[in-house]
Amino acid sequence: MTTTLDAARPARGRRARVRRPGPLSRRALSAWSVLALAVATPVVIATPAQAATPMYLGAVGEVQALSARTGEQLATHAYAQFSSKVPNARMITVRTSASWRQVAAAAPGSAVHEDIVRWADTIKSRPGPVLVAYHHEPEASGSSRYGTAAEYISAYRKVVSVFRSRGVTNVQFTWQMTAYSFRAPAGDARAAARWYPGDGYVDVVAADAYNWSDCGHGNDVWRELSWLADPALAFAKAHGKRAALAEFASDPDPRREQWLRNAHQYLAANQSALTAAFYFNRGPTNSANQDCSWTLTTAAEFDAYGDIARDRSRFRT
């Protein structure tokens, strides 16, 4: 097989006249050598698996039921109190019955402080990373009795400081807000920036993203996950953080299967920005949204969510 380099050699039979290259010729030869090397060296293009670490995919609520129906093991996002046993889960959201001011002021030896220490030591002893969120959705009306935004920030920082004092290195401190808070106007008391504990205390910016549609707060507007989550991802990027969807779900509707498939594409496209996503596989959570059932129910929906879990280059449990 004749190559470009073969063609550059002198022909056989007649002795070729040898000339020493001048400065210009040497530069040309040097450039040719670089080009030949570049052509001979294969260029490696990163695959999705190489380009970003797969994000954790899981569920909240009826996790095992969803795992069984999809045929795929899913990560668990659990909720608990500091006074309770520490759940064994990939993500844990925890709070106390004490006010944020009381948590921020908790001294060594107090019940609140010792509960936080117990949690820190327990999680430290476990393998693998755990996302830990303190008191989710603090800006929502249901949390108003715990205190002000400034008091929440102090309490959040206290929890992080206690964990760090115990030498915990396998926790990703997660700040969990409603998706709306990242879209709210700056003057709104619920605006995310008002509740941000600071870059030094947050590893992951998380949002709870819901397509309410015609139930609860939906006002008959169908929202894709991209519309719901984009502002949270933008906030995380602006602060140099990874993002997570601590909860995400859609109201029951014939379009929910396609909503999940669109969500798959959105999550995959933002793999480098996201560290975890958990579907909220539960029924109504309070009297204000009794007509909102987020639990997946049809074979098509189970297949759609299972397809996300089976996308091993981008998702893990």
What is the SS3 string spanning 286-301?
A: CHHHCCCCCCCCCHHH
Q: Are 171 and 132 in contact (CB under 8 A)?
A: yes
Please tell me the distance from the alpha carbon of residue 194 to that of residue 131, in angstroms, as a whole number: 22
pLDDT at 288: 64
pLDDT at 36: 37
Q: What is the chain's pLDDT, residue by residue, as a tens digit (317 residues)?
A: 433 333 333 333 333 333 344 443 343 334 333 333 333 333 332 333 345 799 999 999 999 999 999 999 999 999 999 999 999 999 999 999 999 999 999 999 999 999 999 999 999 999 999 999 999 999 999 999 999 999 999 999 999 999 999 999 999 999 999 999 999 999 999 999 999 999 999 999 999 999 998 886 667 899 999 999 999 999 999 999 999 999 999 998 999 999 999 999 999 999 999 999 999 999 877 666 777 889 999 999 999 999 999 999 999 98
Between the two ends of the chain, the Cα-to-Cα distance in Å is: 51
Amino acid present at 130: V
Tokens, residue 114 = 């010792």
Please tell me the distance from the alpha carbon of residue 130 to that of residue 191, in angstroms, as a whole number: 27
Distances (CA, A) of 262 to 10, 18, 215: 61, 67, 21
Angle at alpha carbon of residue 282, lines to 222 and 227, rounded to 5°: 25
Q: Which residues contact 130 (CB under 8 A, 6 or more apart)?
A: 89, 90, 91, 92, 123, 170, 171, 172
What is the SS3 string spanning 151-164?
A: HHHHHHHHHHHHHH
Give the containing element (helix H, strand E) for 274. Answer: strand 274-281
Which neighbouring-strand residues pair with 196?
none
Dihedral sign for Cα atoms in the order 141, 145, 150, 152? negative
**What domains are there in the chain, each with its CATH number?**
58-316 (3.20.20.80)
Give the containing element (helix H, strand E) for 130. Answer: strand 130-134
pLDDT at 152: 98
pLDDT at 292: 85
pLDDT at 111: 98
pLDDT at 50: 40
Phi/psi at 58 (nearest 5 deg)?
A: -160, -150
